[in-house]
Amino acid sequence: MTDSQIKCVGIIMDGNRRWARAHNKPVFEGHNEGYKRLQDVVEWAREAGISDVVVFAFSTENWQRSEEEVGFLLKLLRFILNNEIKKMIENRVRVRFIGDRARFDDDIQGGMEKAESETAKDYDVTLHVAVSYGGRAEILSATNALLAEGVQSVTEDDFSKKLWSYPMPDPDLVIRTSGEHRTSGFLPWQTVYSELFFTDVFWPEFSKEEFTRIIEEFKVRERRHGK
């Protein structure tokens, strides 16, 4: 028996830098193209009746990249927060940010809060953006939050409510582009029963045809959920 209804799809958007190198372009061009593809995927998800999309945009480890690249990624994030939110509202897209926000400057933190508030009123699709995110860091954050409350016993539901991602539904499937076959700390608690799909294409080249192929393959997989 198959469970083909998709509520949430997770995507590890990998390959921007390798795409840029393969096309003799600067790294920032790869990130720009990657953002364009993200906009496309949100629309493809809407067309497929998927209500939630969660993407791995910037990991806690990515802070260790070159100052130039991190600076560009922060510049891109600021551009999105300052210029793209109106478009999201018009397209009925809600945006949420999950991760360690404390590492960002105050203007970015404020921009995230404003974007979340302004897009939460009338929407068809929720885009959850994992930024400054690490799976272990999220689990430690949830654990410390519960310890601070002095709880003596914890259920799975109690723990889930302390995660940065709450109340996002668990991903039904996770797609990783660029040929890497690992999840790299992406939502370890939430993806225990997610179906995993790995594709060789770089993220900027990810197409609607590839997205549709993966969705159709998901629909015929048998999901046992440990049973």
Q: Which residues are catalytic?
A: 14, 62
Q: Say whether 222 counts as a known binding-site residue.
A: no
Q: Say whether 17 counts as a known binding-site residue.
A: yes
Name which of 68, 212, 49, 69 is nearest 125 in CA terms: 49
Query: Which tokens hold the place of 18?
Result: 């390798």
Q: Say whether 122 counts as a known binding-site residue.
A: no
Cβ–Cβ under 8 Å, residues 19 and 203: yes
Classify burial at 123, counting beta carbons within 10 Å of its beta carbon; exposed 0-12, middle 13-18, buried 19 or more: middle
Q: Say whether 189 counts as a known binding-site residue.
A: no
One-letter identity of residue 9: V
Beta bridge partners of 53: 9, 127
Q: Say whether 47 counts as a known binding-site residue.
A: no
Q: Say whether 90 counts as a known binding-site residue.
A: no
Q: For the packed helices 27-47 and 67-83, what is the interaxial angle rounded to 10 degrees?
A: 40
Cβ–Cβ under 8 Å, residues 98 and 165: yes
Q: Say whether 203 counts as a known binding-site residue.
A: no
3-state secondary structure of 132: strand
Q: Say whether 176 counts as a known binding-site residue.
A: yes
Q: Say whether 61 counts as a known binding-site residue.
A: yes
Name which of 11, 30, 12, 19 is nearest 202 in CA terms: 19
Q: Which residues are annotated as a binding site for substrate?
A: 15-19, 31, 59-61, 63, 65, 176, 182-184
Q: Which residues are annotated as a binding site?
A: 14-19, 31, 59-61, 63, 65, 176, 182-184, 195
Q: Which residues are annotated as a binding site for Mg(2+)?
A: 14, 195
